């Protein structure tokens, strides 16, 4: 195993200074109250490309020899690593090619190309894109820049912990999202030397818990949709895995719903926009509150590249979960004045009607009735329940949820 320790991380910090933003570490009283911990957020979502990946890419590219620079670099990614390599290759005057799967959202392709990289769309999966990238590497002599299984990349990612502990030396715990493992390995290499008593913990989402499975000696079984696509990794890095094992680190696994709650909590309470992967550390505090209660916890917000539509949907779903939005389905008599009566009842109870869907012909059980769906804004869950109760005194009302039964 390559030796990556505090010295390598400190050298990386000097190497990338001025090319990568030294992001702030801020305390959040509202998030702390919501989790029962003293939370400090490390805002790497503020990097130029919106994610921590710049640290490792900048360090790896800075170490290229002149001959390697002339050859150019190639990387495979569907998101943050692609933009990081493209940006820092451009800053150094190195030609870059980024292989992205065909399913990659157009915005990510456009952003990567905007940094001067040649974007090659190939394959239906990240694995197929990687095979094509390695083929081009062999055929044309490009230097392959791995997103996490590379000592220089790991050392670069560790600069995040170096900054974090310089700004918040009182931390008891450091929560780090885990995809391929480079960020966790690099942060642990720095943090455990700077502050031997600190607990460094990785966090994965349930659908992609590959690192936790490897650490437990289990067969890796991952897949399915997730809002935390930035850490949706099947094949973790062998070097990060070896380092994480040697440090004796634990990786916690959180459900999809907790990541959504964490995104909403950061947006509403801390005024911080985080992507799913970037909110994973906070999600762990929501899932395991007793374990961290009263402790000083550093949460790495590793990225903020979330689609605006997805963010809007997450916030709306959270309003439903909190009872601040109320979804009702009602069977009502099909006669004049009923809609006005319902609207008046809601208004008297202090509710605000957001959306109305009125079905006469096919959804209602009888031609003498109609089905009505309402979206109502309430102050909180108790207020929503009061509105529903007021309507139930006159009509048949069903309160709808956004949750699946298993949630």
Percent of the chain whose pLDDT exceeds 70: 96
Mean pLDDT of the chain: 92
Question: When comparing pLDDT for 45 and 105, which is higher?
Answer: 45
pLDDT, residue 128, reads: 87
Give CA–CA dist 190/210, Å, rounded: 23
| pLDDT above 90 for 2 | no
Give CA–CA dist 139/152, Å, rounded: 24
DSSP string, 173-199: EEEEE-SSSHHHHHHHHHHHHH-TT-E
Quote the tokens at residue 338. Answer: 């009923």
Domains defined for the chain, CATH in brackets: 6-51+150-315 (3.40.50.1100), 73-141 (3.40.50.1100), 323-400 (3.30.70.260)
**Residue among 287, 314, 53 at smallest CA distance from 160:** 53
Q: Which residues are catalytic?
A: 53, 302
pLDDT, residue 106, reads: 80
Residue range 307-359, pLDDT digits in tens: 899 999 999 999 988 889 999 998 888 888 999 999 999 999 999 999 998 76
Give CA–CA dist 177/300, Å, rounded: 7
pLDDT, residue 403, reads: 56
Quote the tokens at residue 159. Answer: 């600069």
pLDDT, residue 406, reads: 42
pLDDT, residue 96, reads: 97
Residue range 259-290, pLDDT digits in tens: 999 999 999 999 999 999 999 999 999 999 99
Range of weakest confidence among 62-71, 96-105, 161-170, 212-221? 96-105
pLDDT, residue 407, reads: 44
Give CA–CA dist 281/217, Å, rounded: 23
pLDDT, residue 402, reads: 56
**Residue among 282, 285, 323 at smallest CA distance from 301:** 282
Give CA–CA dist 55/21, Å, rounded: 9
pLDDT level of residue 79 (50, 70, 90 thresholds): confident
Q: Residue 332: enclosing H or E segment and its boundaries?
A: strand 325-333
pLDDT, residue 49, reads: 95
Q: Rounded to the nearest 5°, which phi and psi values hold at 128?
A: -65, -40
Q: Residue 359: enclosing H or E segment and its boundaries?
A: strand 352-359
Give CA–CA dist 383/4, Å, rounded: 55
pLDDT, residue 365, reads: 55
pLDDT, residue 366, reads: 54
CA torsion 157-162-168-170 (nearest 10°) is: 110
Range of weakest confidence among 53-67, 79-93, 256-270, 361-375? 361-375
pLDDT, residue 347, reads: 93
**365: three-class secondary structure by DSSP:** coil
- Contact (CB, 8 A) for 382 and 344: no
Residue range 295-308, pLDDT digits in tens: 999 999 999 999 89
Residue range 181-236, pLDDT digits in tens: 999 999 999 999 999 999 999 999 999 999 999 999 999 999 999 999 889 988 99
274: Cβ–Cβ under 8 A, 6 or more apart, which residues? 45, 262, 263, 266, 267, 282, 301, 303, 304, 306
Q: Which residue has the tokens 């779903």?
A: 317
Angle between the N-to-C axes of helices 151-167 and 53-62, in degrees from 0 to 180, rounded to the nearest 10? 130
Percent of the chain whose pLDDT exceeds 90: 79
pLDDT level of residue 405 (50, 70, 90 thresholds): very low
pTM of the model: 0.89
DSSP string, 9-34: HHHHHHHHBTTB----EEE-HHHHHH
């Amino acid at each position: 195993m390559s030796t990556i320790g505090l010295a390598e991380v400190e050298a990386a910090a000097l190497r990338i200074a001025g090319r990568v933003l030294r992001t702030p570490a801020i305390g959040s009283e509202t998030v702390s109250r919501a989790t029962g911990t003293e939370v400090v957020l490390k805002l790497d979502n503020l990097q130029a490309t919106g994610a921590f990946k710049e640290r490792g890419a900048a360090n790896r590219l800075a170490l290229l020899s002149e001959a390697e620079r002339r050859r150019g670099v190639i990387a495979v990614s569907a998101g943050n690593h692609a933009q990081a390599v493209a940006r820092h290759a451009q800053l150094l005057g190195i030609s870059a090619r980024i292989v992205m799967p065909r399913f990659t959202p157009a915005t990510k392709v456009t952003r990567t190309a905007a940094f001067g990289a040649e974007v090659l769309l190939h394959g239906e999966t990240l694995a197929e894109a990687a095979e094509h990238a390695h083929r081009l590497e062999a055929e044309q002599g490009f230097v392959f820049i791995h997103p996490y299984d590379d000592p220089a990349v790991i050392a670069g990612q560790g600069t995040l912990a170096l900054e974090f502990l310089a700004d918040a030396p009182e931390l008891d715990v450091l929560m780090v999202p885990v995809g391929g493992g480079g960020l966790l390995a690099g942060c642990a290499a720095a943090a455990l030397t700077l502050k031997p008593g600190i607990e460094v913990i990785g966090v994965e989402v349930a659908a992609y818990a590959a690192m936790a499975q490897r650490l437990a000696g289990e067969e890796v079984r991952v897949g399915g949709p997730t809002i935390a696509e930035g850490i949706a990794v099947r094949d973790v890095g062998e070097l990060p895995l070896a380092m994480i094992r040697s440090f004796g680190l634990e990786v916690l696994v959180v459900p999809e719903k907790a990541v959504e709650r964490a995104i909403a909590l950061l947006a509403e309470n801390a005024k911080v926009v985080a992507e799913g992967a970037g909110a994973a550390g906070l999600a762990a505090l929501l899932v395991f509150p007793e374990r961290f209660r009263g402790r000083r916890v550093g949460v790495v917000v590793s990225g903020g590249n979330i689609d605006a539509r997805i963010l809007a949907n997450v916030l709306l779903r959270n309003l439903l979960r909190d009872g601040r939005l109320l979804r009702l389905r009602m069977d009502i008599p099909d006669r004049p004045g009923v809609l006005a009566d319902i609207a008046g009842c809601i208004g008297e109870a202090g509710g605000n009607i957001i959306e109305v869907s009125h079905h006469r012909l096919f959804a209602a059980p009888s031609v003498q009735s109609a089905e009505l769906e309402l979206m109502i804004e309430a102050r909180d869950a108790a207020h929503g329940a009061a509105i529903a109760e007021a309507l139930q005194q006159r009509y048949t009302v069903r309160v709808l949820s956004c949750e699946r039964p298993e949630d």
